[in-house]
Amino acid sequence: MSEQIDAEQVRKVAKLARLQLSDSEIEEFTGQLGAILGYVEKMNELDTEGVEPLAHCLPISNVFRADEVEPSLGTDRALANAPERDGPFFKVPKILDDNSAA
């Protein structure tokens, strides 16, 4: 990963993330992302032979609550803040046209 990130790659990622960035923001993010990638590249130089992979630096485990049946939220409360509803359902904008295979 010796390549540096360029402005065109930042534009592509911004488009994929649906972000509208100005030219100054693209220039700024190009430098910042380049610095991040440089840091990751530096970490790749470390000798990790014999180091066990871990998800957290402390010996912790997930604590789950008991799986117990509780009363449900109910349709009226679930839809109370819905911008639009169709009876007991959320009404959402159509995203597929009539010619789609879905």
Domains and CATH numbers, the chain: 7-43 (1.10.20)
> Residue 102 — pLDDT band, cuts 50, 70, 90?
low
pLDDT of residue 101: 62
Q: Give the C-alpha separation, 68 to 76, whole Å.
A: 23
- 2-58 pLDDT, tens digit each: 578 999 999 999 999 999 999 999 999 999 999 999 998 988 888 988 888 877 778
> Residue 1 — pLDDT band, cuts 50, 70, 90?
very low
Q: Give the C-alpha separation, 80 to 57, whole Å.
A: 42
Inter-axis angle of helices 23-43 and 7-16, nearest 10? 100
Contact 10, 30 (CB under 8 A): yes
Between CA 66 and CA 60, with CA 53 as vertex, the angle to 5 degrees is 30
pTM of the model: 0.47
The amino acid occupying position 82 is A
Average pLDDT over residues 59-86: 89
Q: Is the pLDDT of residue 74 over 80?
A: yes
